[in-house]
Structure 1
Amino acid sequence: MHFTDQEVLATATHPDFRAWLARIKHIGGCQHPIHLIGHTLTLEAGTGRLLAALTSETQPHKRLTIACGNRRVSRCEPCARLHQGDTYHLIAAGLAGGKSIPDTVRTHPRVFATFTAPSFGAVHRHTTDGPCRSRKRTAPCPHGRPLACPAHHTADDPVTGTPLCLGCYDYRTAVLFNAHTRDLWQRLNRNLYEDLASTLGVSRSVMRRSVRVSYAKVAEWQRRGTIHFHSVVRFDGPEGPTDPPPAWASTGLLIRTIRSATGRVFFTVPGTQVVLRFGTQLDIRPITPGRTGDDLTERAVASYIAKYVSKPEVTGVTVDRPIRDLATIAVLPVTEHTRTMIRTCWALGFRRWAHQLGYRGHTATKSRRYSTTYTALRAARADHRRSANGEDSDTGDAVVERNWRYSHSGHTVGQAMFAEGIEEDLRAAREDGDAS
């Protein structure tokens, strides 16, 4: 009998098989679950009388199995899809209301803005109406490489996004840009209020008491390995989405302010003379409350941002887990351009973030009062599950004692095959529900 067949048979004939199947279905068919050993005890305050108990001893295989919660689709598709859904609702609530946000937020000026990285050297491009790079000047670069490319690259061509000359590309500054995009964003946020204050002829403190600039953004890696930000930016009153902005806070003013503030953003990397800025390509589009036509709608923006949250990696450009040693870099399934960026991260001390090409931020972030939070969405889902299971989420004055420790992660070969089948069934049921 084949080894895989033996594993499947051993899994299916285990006494805990049915209970294990139910648990994996409960956590959405997670592909890399976490297994815990321990207990949660609910005790009556004062007397210490045991009211309820959840222990690993009563669970399948004597361990509590929970979902990994990984947001990367390459690591766990079911958990990534759940995170994608949370992101969609978080973004949509800040555009159309819901999740404790009033629908009057739809009347607030808001735009969808894309902030790009500057050029660090000429790269091969995907074009639809001409060659990659046509130059009248035929002289090569200082390293003897041609500065023209007559080819027509497709969007998924491995060459797209790679430098015409690896020697001319400024890898050091490209990595430093990725590493300090958080600093650039913080300065942009500060500049927005300064530009508004200057336009209206008031102090910054007065401006901050008059209007609030709220945002939600997602980071995207381009094929050349640099970070772009896609962001919703919105005018609110000083109290946030429940507070209407002043009458003078128009969509046109928001667009002009973003352009002006972005042009003034710069950050000098400590200990160097490297000055970082956003790229000159800045796309800003108003978001409309409509549902049809060519307008950029609330639903389209929420879907677009959610897509990048669960699939941040670009094939051949980034990897989905940290790099532990220098030797691993040589065998990664990436382009030579990406390999050079990773090695540059290693040399500059950004080893912890080398798999992200130096980017040290979260894939998705938002301002404090943009809308609801991931924590609130997950808590609501947990309460819904407890209610569906007939559990009481309100423990009153009871004392809850939790003591859990990590055992291990993942499935056996046999378990993985059954978990994959569960995930496919759940996906099919979800798609049927969407189609009906």
Structure 2
Amino acid sequence: MPTPAPGGPDEGLSFTDREILSTATHPDFRAWLARVRHIGGCQHPVHLVGHTLTVDASTGRLVHSFTSAEQPHGRLTIACGNRRQSRCEPCARLHQGDTYHLVVSGLAGGKGLPDTVRSHPRVFVTFTAPSFGPVHRHTTDKPCRPSRGRRGLVCGHGRPLWCLDRHTSGDPLTGAPLCADCYDYPAAVLWNAHTRDLWQRLHRNLYEAIATTRGISRTAVRNAVRVAYAKVAEYQRRGSVHFHAVMRFDGPTPDAPPPAWATLALLVRTIRTATRRVHLAVPGLDTILRFGAQLDIRPILPGHHGDDLTERAVASYIAKYVTKPEVAGITVDRPIRDAITISVLPVTDHARTLIRICWTLASRAEYKSLNLRRWAHQLGYRGHIATKSRAYSTTYTALRAAREQHRRDHNDQEETSDDIDTITDKDWTYTGNGHTPGQAMFADGIADDLRTAREAAHDARMSVDTHQETCNEHDY
């Protein structure tokens, strides 16, 4: 920004004040403010120039036009849509809400799914990674690794196999190996890189386990029952990914009930059997990749007040981790461009070693397809944070389309008649992203206002729900 002229109206103002003044006095300020409010106060919006033209296919008459020239500053500003809270809180909040509705509709119905799915057997499962070596644990009431039976025991590198400290969740030692030389770093990285393959084997094994239990073919099983799921990936402090998943028995289609023999007990038994049978041999690695021995399976209850694990609780839990996949000191939210950067990343020594192993393994021919350098910031994990089976519930695309339709209906925007056969020509070019410092301050204010309004609406809904439950308890 040029230095203010002596005696000018902004002489003596701080940089922040000059930025705010420059933004607020721009001729397009009010229109720009309305646009930023429309995209929820996005912190890193994307800017486009171009047009969308709709013409009558039979006559060539222009039916509707939308150009960037009509927009503030001569460009169309759209939300970045980033799901990471560390990158853009408003867009992450929106993605979190979409994930909640996606998960809860698969449990309670809605969004095109009948509410009869509530009667289907369904469970909440946590799949863990195997051990790659003993690590320091987060404990509060007992030592990390009690010395009983271990005092005096050391590994092959002379390091003790016990630890009497108590580590907080933010302690850099939490999740770090007792002996870095004993820890199987290559296997830990390749586990993260192959979780997608392991999950596919698990899903296939589910039907094989049911077929074995029932004594029928896999084709017959798939014609009678389907296993629908939605899952989210979460990083443990040791840097290994584990999955939280909702799994549900359906009939041949989601709106059909599963057969009578497809019980909750069978679902639990099937998941345990299928998980034990998963194994994957990786070239250049002596270890066979498997899921961890710890497998937590809990039934999901219909959703009454006071239940331990309800539909809403599960949906909220999964939605929370979709926007917070990064673990402080363990992963970073941007790709790593060069090896020199690794040494200055704000991560623990353990995480830094995992990242360096990603960088090193990427140079080996057998791991070229894994793109480990591209995914080094995620410690080799290259899958989506949240995924689901096709039949579980609605999709993010459908939720975004419904939200956009609601906006059009709310704003009374004119739509093209369905009776007219039209041709649409779209030509848009990326020109940049982000706000100026002054614009960022106003955008942050809009995001804060919207957050306050959401919290107030949530508190009001909770108050109404509590009152309604009280009335029901007293049979008013």
Secondary structure of the residue aligned to 2:58 is: coil
Letter in 1 for 2:456: D
Q: Determine whether 1:318 maps to 2:343.
A: no
**Which entry has the higher C-alpha Rg, 1 or 2?**
2
Corresponding residue for residue 128 of structure 2: 116
Identity %, equivalent residues:
70
- Between 187-196 and 387-396, report the one with greater CA deviation: 387-396
Give the CA deviation at 1:169: 1.0
- d(CA) in 2 for partners of 1:11 and 1:191? 59
Q: Identify which of 282, 288, 292 aligns with 1:275.
A: 288
Corresponding residue for residue 182 of structure 1: 196
Asked whether the equivalents of residues 342 and 355 of structure 1 are also in contact (C-alpha less than 8 Å), the reply is yes
Q: Deviations over 1:49-84 (max 9, x none)?
A: 112111111100000000000000000000000000
Give the CA deviation at 1:128: 3.0
Corresponding residue for residue 423 of structure 2: 399
- d(CA) in 2 for partners of 1:62 and 1:143? 65
Q: 1:271 to 1:122 in 2, by over 3 A?
A: closer
- d(CA) in 2 for partners of 1:359 and 1:403? 35
Asked whether the equivalents of residues 301 and 307 of structure 2 are also in contact (C-alpha less than 8 Å), the reply is no
Q: Determine whether 1:299 maps to 2:323.
A: no
Asked whether the equivalents of residues 42 and 79 of structure 2 are also in contact (C-alpha less than 8 Å), the reply is yes
Letter in 1 for 2:393: S
Q: Deviations over 1:357-403 (max 9, x none)?
A: 00010000001100101110011011111122222445532221110
Corresponding residue for residue 78 of structure 1: 90
Letter in 2 for 1:398: T
Secondary structure of the residue aligned to 2:412 is: coil
Corresponding residue for residue 343 of structure 1: 356
Q: Identify which of 221, 237, 242 aligns with 2:235.
A: 221
Q: Identify which of 5, 12, 31 aligns with 2:24.
A: 12
Runs (4+) of structure 1 exceeding 6 A deviation are none
Give the CA deviation at 1:292: 2.0
Secondary structure of the residue aligned to 1:426 is: helix
Corresponding residue for residue 385 of structure 1: 407
Corresponding residue for residue 446 of structure 2: 422
Asked whether the equivalents of residues 63 and 416 of structure 2 are also in contact (C-alpha less than 8 Å), the reply is no
Letter in 1 for 2:51: H
Q: 1:408 to 1:16 in 2, by over 3 A?
A: same
Asked whether the equivalents of residues 387 and 393 of structure 1 are also in contact (C-alpha less than 8 Å), the reply is no
Pairwise mapping of residues 355-374 of structure 1 onto structure 2 (< 5 A)?
355-374=377-396
Q: Deviations over 1:305-352 (max 9, x none)?
A: 000001111111110011111111111100010000011111111001
Secondary structure of the residue aligned to 1:351 is: coil
- d(CA) in 2 for partners of 1:57 and 1:356? 40
Pairwise mapping of residues 219-258 of structure 1 onto structure 2 (< 5 A)?
219-239=233-253, 241-258=254-271
- d(CA) in 2 for partners of 1:378 and 1:333? 35
Give the CA deviation at 1:4: 2.1
- d(CA) in 1 for partners of 2:424 and 2:410? 21
Between the two proteins, the alignment pairs up a number of residues equal to 435
TM-score for the superposition, normalised by structure 2: 0.90
Corresponding residue for residue 64 of structure 1: 76
Q: Determine whether 1:264 maps to 2:277.
A: yes
Letter in 2 for 1:323: I
Give the CA deviation at 1:271: 5.0
Pairwise mapping of residues 70-149 of structure 1 onto structure 2 (< 5 A)?
70-135=82-147, 136-137=149-150, 138-149=152-163
Q: Deviations over 1:2-32 (max 9, x none)?
A: 2222111111111111111000000000000
Give the CA deviation at 1:142: 2.4
- d(CA) in 2 for partners of 1:319 and 1:36? 28
Q: Deviations over 1:115-147 (max 9, x none)?
A: 000111111111233100113332332223222
Pairwise mapping of residues 35-50 of structure 1 onto structure 2 (< 5 A)?
35-50=47-62
Give the CA deviation at 1:165: 1.7
- d(CA) in 1 for partners of 2:92 and 2:258? 35
Secondary structure of the residue aligned to 1:209 is: helix
Gaps of 5+ in 2: 1-12, 363-371, 461-476
Corresponding residue for residue 172 of structure 1: 186
Letter in 2 for 1:376: A
Gaps of 5+ in 1: none
Q: 1:28 to 1:236 in 2, by over 3 A?
A: same
Asked whether the equivalents of residues 44 and 79 of structure 2 are also in contact (C-alpha less than 8 Å), the reply is yes
Q: Identify which of 148, 152, 159 aligns with 2:173.
A: 159
Give the CA deviation at 1:156: 2.3
Corresponding residue for residue 465 of structure 2: none
Asked whether the equivalents of residues 383 and 393 of structure 1 are also in contact (C-alpha less than 8 Å), the reply is no
Letter in 2 for 1:432: A
